[in-house]
Amino acid sequence: MAILPILQYPDERLHKVAKKVDKIDDAIRKLVRDMAETMYSAPGVGLAATQVDKHIRLVVLDVSDMHDDLKVFINPELVSSQGEKVNEEGCLSVPGIYENVSRAERVSVRALDEHGKPFTVEAEGLLAVCIQHEIDHLNGRVFVEHLSHLKQTRIRAKLKKHKREIL
């Protein structure tokens, strides 16, 4: 297994739209394991392939308290969504930034697992937030892009300053 470098906002590659996975093979399963290791070591609760510069529709998630419930979503599709809720979100690609984002409260998502088996999940709470956040990544959208332009400008300035300080 390997820990993969995570692209940092505002890297342009975070705006690429990921392609569907055609064939779920050992190379995909290796990427799943590497992404899981990268997510757990960060630590984070979700990671999209886009964030590790692999532009395919693959997401790993684990919102459990014990970090022992890895969920793999390949070619995830939002089947339905209900309600609306504001939650504070963060992202491994936007370190140190936490902002309120409004999303659907409950979603139904269809996807394939790492063996190519289709499944559907009805999600609410953190899992629902996380799935929508990660599907956004696959579509080239970072969570801060749900915020006002003014806020986005402030966040970019803050990240730039932080980068200067650690260099």
Q: In the bound complex, what is the minimum distance in angstroms from residue 110's beta carbon to Ni ion?
A: 21
| CA 27 – CA 155 distance, rounded (Å) | 36
CB of 76 to Ni ion, least distance (A): 14
Nearer to Ni ion, 91 or 111 (CB): 91
Q: Which is catalytic among the residues 77, 114, 134, 165?
A: 134
Chain residues binding Ni ion by CB under 5 A are 91
Quickly tell me which residue has 């984002």 as its tokens.
101
CA gap 56, 149 in Å, rounded: 28
Closer to Ni ion by Cβ: residue 5 or 26: 5
Provide DSSP, 40-66: HHTT-SEEEGGGGT--BSEEEE---TT
Residue nearer to Ni ion on the CB measure, 32 or 91? 91
Task: Name the closest residue to Ni ion (Cβ).
Answer: 91
What's the closest the beta carbon of residue 113 comes to Ni ion, in angstroms? 21
Instruction: Return the exposure string of 9-23: e unless at least 16 CB atoms fall within 10 Å of the residue's CB, then b.
Output: bbeeebebebeebee
- Annotated active-site residue 134? The verdict is yes
Catalytic residues: 134
